[in-house]
Amino acid sequence: MYGVSGDLARRLVLPAFFELARRDLLPEHWRLVGEVRGDALDLVEHVRDALEEFGPRPGDGPFEEFAARLLSAGGGMSEESAGDLPEVLKQARDALAAEGAEDAQLVHYLAIPPTAFLDYTKALDAHGLAEGSRVVYEKPYGTSLATFEELETEVKRVFSEDQVYRIDHFLAFEAMQNVLHARLANPWLAGIWNREHVAQVQVDVAETLDVAQRAEFYDATGAFLDMIVTHLFQMAATVALQPPADLAPETVQAARDAALQRFRPLDPAEVVLGQFEGYLDIESVPGDSTTDTLAAVRLWIDDDRWRDVPFLLRSGKKMAADEQRVTLVLRGASEGPYAEGAELPSEPAAVSFSLLEGGAIDVRLVVRTPGVEGGTSLTTATAPLDGLDSGRAALPYVHLIEHVLTGNRSLFTGVEGLRAAWTAVQEFSENRPPVQGYAPGTWGPAAVDELAAPGAWFLR
């Protein structure tokens, strides 16, 4: 694991490894080598501190057994020098061979800033560490079509495609996986998954937090690059994909990539960028910054299933609530007594997938109001996912690391899909609309609501 001392590793990746150990889902024989630029750190104490802060706590699992398999390498990694890594990798291989695992699979996990991906890819090749290995790239995989192509050219030179795992952790949420699995397993749900029954598809990732802890990084990135063209595009494609013939990892990934390739190029007129009031007062944010802390887009998909159905994507900071949802807003009755003109609730029926905590599926229905007077009302049936048949929900990185170790690429982004995503936003990138201010604790500028007209956002 490169960058093992970084924030990403501490908060998400190392806790996920320990959670896999708690669930007895790691291979029988393994070693984790943590690489850093400076002197080798005390990896056992580093992991212990990370678990104490972010959980699961060391006492809640087999920590001593886990810690005995941790190794540390210092000296950094570049084309010129691999530091201590070759020697430490030899130690790891020798230890595994002594346990009877002579042909251990080498996995490179790049938990490093995306700006370093290119250099590390070249370094892995220069030191003979690429052949036969697997490599995990965090997001974003590029920051534009040009930088994506530059990185992909080098990755393709060094690795074959089946060696490469490009992470988008939103694909691994329990509820996000059920966007595909619940749809395919329930004919009634599959039957409404089209333009005849769906008026809008909405993908919302909203946070009440500001960016004070990572303002310098955030100001150089913004909500659109950080969330829309990465996570929310992939989530939209998961909704939009054509039903795959089977659930083999390569089939699922290909179906999602094909959906991304049907995205219409993003029209800058259908993008709203916002900046919450007070953002410019945050330390390390320039007083004239035009960085977007909120982005909302209206996206179109050109195929027979979704033509003329708007996909509304929205993500931002300092918003009205902490929510992560994928929602299919359903059309009203087209005939019969409840057709257009009937007295109905102001909000339509919907099927909504909540990604928070263990995940849940909400089905919102229009029903008759109880009582003599009658009328219509809305009611929501919620199906929590955590605990079903005694199954415990797992955090996204637990799923992702397990999939890397077992060679399952279904929850990882494909290169053609990523290329299509960067192509779809190229015109927008060259003609960005100005940011609009919005009050903290709201759902963004008024123009965001206009994107959903004549309908409305499920979250408002």
Question: Is there a single domain that holds both residue 210 and residue 72?
Answer: no
Euclidean distance between CA atoms 121 and 136, whole angstroms: 11
> Are residues 160 and 226 both part of a single domain?
no
pLDDT of 217: 82
For residues 117 and 132, state if they share a domain.
yes
Q: How far is CA 453 from the centre of its chain?
A: 27
CB atoms within 10 A of CB 360: 19
254 and 327 in a single domain? The answer is yes
Q: Are 87 and 176 in the same domain?
A: no
Q: CA 375, 348, 436: angle at the middle one, nearest 5?
A: 135
Q: Is 168 annotated as a binding residue?
A: no
Is 69 assigned to a binding site? no
In a domain, 154, yes or no: yes
Cα(41)–Cα(441) distance, integer angstroms: 42
Entry field: residues in the chain = 460
Tell me whether residue 226 is annotated as binding: yes
DSSP 335-359: SSTTSTTS---SS--EEEEE-STT-
Q: Is the peptide bond before 114 cis (omega within 30 degrees of 0)?
A: no
Q: In angstroms, rounded to a whole number, what is the distance separating the alpha carbons of residues 410 and 252?
A: 6
Q: ω into residue 454 within 30 of 0, thus cis?
A: yes
Number of domains in the chain: 2
Scanning the structure block, which residue is given the tokens 């049907």?
262
Residues 151 and 109 reside in one and the same domain: yes
List the structure tokens of 242: 């054509």
> Is the residue at 457 inside a domain?
no
Strand boundaries in 340-432, DSSP class E: 350-354, 360-368, 376-384, 412-413
Are 104 and 206 found together in one domain? no
Tokens for 421, please give them.
């995503």
The pLDDT score that the predictor gives to residue 337 is 81
Q: What is the CATH number of the domain that holds 343?
A: 3.30.360.10
Whether 163 and 178 share a structural domain: no
Q: Are 120 and 110 in contact (CB under 8 A)?
A: yes
CATH number (domain holding residue 74): 3.40.50.720
* Residue 257 domain flag: yes
Nearest by Cα to 427 from 68, 145, 8: 145
Residues 189 and 139 in one domain: no
**How far apart are alpha carbons 49 and 56 in whole angstroms?**
11
| Residue 198 placed within a domain | yes
Domain boundary among 167, 195, 219: 167
The predicted pLDDT at position 133 comes to: 98
Q: How far is CA 322 from the centre of its chain?
A: 16
Q: Say yes or no: 133 and 196 in one domain.
A: no
CA distance 72 to 133: 19
Last residue of a domain, one of 151, 167, 183: 167
Mean pLDDT by 10 residues, the chain (460 residues): 94 97 97 94 96 96 97 96 97 97 95 94 98 95 94 98 96 97 97 97 97 84 94 98 95 96 96 97 94 98 97 98 98 83 81 96 94 92 93 94 96 96 93 96 97 95
Residue 459 falls inside a structural domain:
no
The pTM of this model reads: 0.94
207 is in an annotated binding site: yes
Does one domain contain both 133 and 194? no
Q: Residue 371 is encoded by which pair of tokens?
A: 């009582």
Helix 415-424 with 233-240: angle, nearest 10 deg: 110
Is 368 within the bounds of a domain?
A: yes
CA-based nearest residue to 138, from 2, 234, 261, 250: 2
Composition of the chain by helix, strand, coil, percent to 5: 40, 20, 40
Q: Are 303 and 262 within 8 A, CB to CB?
A: yes
Would residue 1 count as lying in a domain? no
Distance (Å, whole) CA 256 – CA 272: 26
Cα–Cα nearest to 318, from 446, 236, 451, 223: 223
Q: What is the pLDDT of residue 342?
A: 67
Q: Please count the other Cβ atoms lying within 10 Å of the Cβ belonging to residue 419.
A: 18
Residues 288 and 188 occupy one common structural domain? yes
Question: Domain range spanning residue 105?
Answer: 7-167
Which of the residues are catalytic?
A: 231
Residue 59, C-beta contacts closer than 8 angstroms, at least 6 positions apart: none
Q: Which of 167, 190, 223 is the last residue of a domain?
A: 167
Q: Is 49 among the domain residues? A: yes
